[in-house]
Amino acid sequence: MLIVIDYNVGNVRSVCNAFRHIGCDVELSRDRRKIEAAAALVLPGVAAFGFAVNALGSLGSCIKDLALAGKPLLGICVGYQMLFDESCEFGVHKGLGLVSGAVIPIPPGRVVPHMGWNKVGLHDDMALFAGLGGEKHFYFAHSFYAKVADSAAKVAYTDYGFNLPASVQKGNIYGTQFHPEKSGKQGLQVLRNFARIAGSTHSTNSGQASSLQAEGRDD
């Protein structure tokens, strides 16, 4: 069972919809026992950083402990940004500190927010991108970005007039600044890869059939 952390911020439903679509056993929850028992955790987030951190509250340290103990964790967008040490969006706020780095504004001189589809250079050795080839477009929507300072983290970048970190992997900790659940077929493949990492059981509902169909059409 995959648990998507429900912490009262926007649009966590779409992450669940996407996992269900690919035949994954997923539940939206903030129940500690379920979180502790989960095969893997997904920390979504459509919110300002400070609001998200406050809404997460004491669940944050619970998630951090589980991730440090080896449970696969996928942070998405602000959920990804919260993996880092701190952010300065509407005041300075502490993150989970699982990956070294700070969340700072996208530098001026370009359209902000960075919103839309941008091409990410994918690494073969990043498990989230298995089967996706060298470059793919993913959907971004953010005004702040994580300046990664962790030498133990693998980083995939997108070009937004500078090398903008689009995804990190540090051991069992994964994060995407982009929204895989909103990135069409290639996004569903990223989620499928995470489900595979988590060893989450695939159910036999119609979702699996459509995921195979989607896989067949991947170019």
Smaller CB separation from another protein, 61 or 206: 206
Ramachandran sector of residue 11 (left: φ over 0; alpha: ψ -120 to 50; beta: rest) = left
CB of 31 to another protein, least distance (A): 18
Binding interface with another protein (CB under 8 A): 9-14, 17-18, 21, 46-48, 51, 78, 89-90, 111-119, 137, 139-143, 159-160, 179, 181-185, 187-188
Nearest CB to another protein, comparing residues 34 and 90: 90
Closest to another protein by CB, 70 or 116:
116
Q: Which of 16, 89, 93, 181 is catalytic?
A: 181
> Is 77 an active-site residue?
yes
Give 15 or 96: the residue with its C-beta nearer to another protein. Answer: 15
The verdict on whether 88 is a catalytic residue reads: no
Would residue 16 show up in a list of annotated catalytic residues for this protein?
no
* Shortest reach from residue 28's CB to another protein, in Å: 10
**Which of 24, 77, 89, 93 is flagged as catalytic?**
77
Return the active site residues.
Answer: 77, 179, 181
